[in-house]
Chains A and B, each alone.
Chain A
Amino acid sequence: MTTTRHGSATFEFTDRAVTMQRKFEAPLALVFDVLTKPEHVRVWFPADDVSLHICEIDLRVGGEYHYAWYAPGDKECSFRGTFFEIERPTRIVCTWLFEGWPDDEAVETMTLTEDGGITTLTDILEFKTPENLGDHFQVNDGAQASWDKLEDLLAGLQAGRS
């Protein structure tokens, strides 16, 4: 098993968007499947000690997806959204909500390209305003100024992985 690409994702932060890129040594059609079929997402999405109790993907325009899991400490975390553009198997545009914050909905555009058996995933998360990205930086559900929640979430996701 090769691990040479581990840690190789690149991130670019701008005013109100994050652009992530990552290459995989797999054909495009397989990467698309792994990204969009619940039986695959259940395997790779959560960290080792966490499992998704909700993993629904209704991959059609107007269809919705919803992933939810419990971080240690029984904190429920979730991503959900609605698909509004699907070009199998190269492009998906959907809305993206973390922990169900209607105010901070972002638009996610996932694009796949393949070159010589290597597939590149480009994932752009674009918030409506810089303030929404700011909210995300803060990950705060009330008046208390902290990003503890995200920290807990990250700790939860990373628990069991050194």
Chain B
Amino acid sequence: MARASTTADVFNAIAEAHRRDILDVLVEGEKSVGAIVDELAIPQPQVSKHLRVLSEVGLVRCRAVGRSHLYRLNPASLRPLRDWVTKYELLWNERLDRMDDYLIELQRQAGKPDQHKEGAP
């Protein structure tokens, strides 16, 4: 099966632990590559590579100040992830609500709850 490239979208971009760490560091505010390297103790080339992936999917924005580049979080780009989580929760909540209704119906049909004891054969 063909795998999507890691730069494909927000979901894959945040699937990598170091990239999530970088996002966590940037929650505090705008930082240079050097400051991120210092905080996370990840080699600079790797941090730059991750920042490139994060930039490509719009999770971080970059601006040049003098000779250094400053990176900041772009929270709006996390929207698809939040939407996905919301949908996942909605789907499972609905399924479990159906199970809930069904359990109540079964017990109602049985007259009283403790008539259903055939659980474990």
Contacts and interface: CB of A to CB of B under 8 A. Distances in A.
Interface residues of A, number: 58
B99 interface: yes
A49 to B, nearest CB: 13
A139 B94 CA distance: 20
A26 B2 contact: no
A69 to B, nearest CB: 12
Contact of A45 (B1, B95, B121): B95
Contacts of A18: 88
Interface in A10-62: 11, 13, 15, 18, 20, 22, 24-35, 40, 43-45, 47
A43 B107 CA distance: 15
Interface string B76-106: 0000110011011111111111111111111
A9 B102 contact: no
Contacts, number: 150
Nearest to B117: A29
Contacts of A144: 4
Nearest to B80: A147
Interface string A112-156: 000001000100000000110111011011111111001100100
B102 A7 contact: no
A24 B103 contact: yes
12 contacts: A2-B104, A29-B119, A30-B107, A44-B98, A45-B99, A131-B12, A137-B15, A138-B12, A144-B4, A145-B4, A147-B9, A154-B90
Interface of B: 1-5, 8-9, 11-12, 14-17, 80-81, 84-85, 87-108, 113-114, 116-121
